[in-house]
Amino acid sequence: MGRHGTIAGRKAAQDSKRSALFTKYARVITVAAKAGGDPEYNSALKTALEKAKSIGLPNDNINRAIKKGTGELSGEVYEELVFEGYAPAGVAIIVETLTDNKNRTASFIRSTFDKYGGNLGSPGCVSYMFSRKGAILIEKKDDVEEDGVLMVALEGGAEDMLLNEDSFEIVTDPAVYHDVYKAVVAAGYEIAEAEIEYLPSVEAKPTEEHDIVKIKKMIDVLEENDDVQKVYTNCDGDVLD
């Protein structure tokens, strides 16, 4: 197992934060749509729409977010900021944000790291331990064969397939992510989750309970903030479940 945790665990967490996720992904769509409102010619928008639809973001919200990005509707101006640092026990953390007030966001991120025993670092201090990859998860079921999924993934251009506790995780270069995604769907497989994200090259496995409690709390507090889009960590998923 590893970084993702179980599908059931992630779905439960998403359900409890659904309204916040709607806000976050509407922002992502708005920012992506600045480069054009047609997803066939805007890969960032296409990725954002796929993820938004997977969490059930209503079409009205999606269309409104696109129009804000293309300038058809007025709206806030968001800036992308990425923060890097360490949680307790040397666990690496990357925090992606979209904000209309970078001072507010930077202050919140720094205080959260400090409060839970972490250290906010400079750009690049932990990102070297991660690679930007596409990740497509297919739930393990009796009628889903490993060899079949692997063949479709590789023929579609995937780099690798990892075996998690309850899923097959297809790993792709971001440049061919959509090609692999379409190949998997065309083959009839149901995608449980898909995203372009930071995947760690080395996992950390903290053992002290007090460190684990602080790491979980830090991640929860960061993820609950509206400005925070995604928190990546190299902490073993079993530890966080």
Mean pLDDT over 195-224 rounds to: 93
- Give the pLDDT confidence score for residue 187 in this predicted structure: 96
Placement of tokens 């692999």 in the chain: 180
- Give the pLDDT confidence score for residue 15 in this predicted structure: 59
Summarised one tens digit per residue, pLDDT across range 43-99 is 889 989 988 888 889 999 999 999 999 999 988 889 999 999 999 999 999 999 999
Q: Residue 198 burial by CB count (10 A; 0-12/13-18/19+): exposed, middle or buried?
A: buried
**Contact predicate 79/120, CB 8 Å:** no
| Architecture of the domain whose range is 131-200 | 2-Layer Sandwich (3.30)
Residue 4 — very low, low, confident or very high, per pLDDT cuts 50/70/90? Answer: low
Buried b (16+ CB within 10 A) or exposed e, 149-181: bbebbeebbbeebbebbbbbbbbbbeeebbebb
The proportion of the chain whose per-residue pLDDT surpasses 70, expressed as a percent, equals 93
CATH superfamily of the 79-128+202-240 domain:
YebC, transcriptional regulation domain (3.30.70.980)
Mean pLDDT over 127-144 rounds to: 93
Residues of the chain with CATH 3.30.70.980: 79-128+202-240, 131-200
What's the start-to-end Cα distance of the chain, in Å? Answer: 11
Residues of the chain with CATH 1.10.10.200: 7-70
Mean pLDDT over 126-151 rounds to: 94
Residue 214 — very low, low, confident or very high, per pLDDT cuts 50/70/90? Answer: very high
Is the CATH code 3.40.50.170 the one for domain 7-70?
no
- Give the pLDDT confidence score for residue 12 in this predicted structure: 61
Summarised one tens digit per residue, pLDDT across range 144-192 is 999 999 999 999 999 999 998 889 999 999 999 999 999 999 999 999 8
In the predicted structure, residue 1 carries a pLDDT above the cut 80: no
**Whole-structure pTM value:** 0.81
In the predicted structure, residue 2 carries a pLDDT above the cut 50: no
Distance between CA atoms of 169 and 194, rounded to whole angstroms?
9
The proportion of the chain whose per-residue pLDDT surpasses 90, expressed as a percent, equals 75
Mean pLDDT over 126-137 rounds to: 94
Chain-centre distance for alpha carbon 109: 18
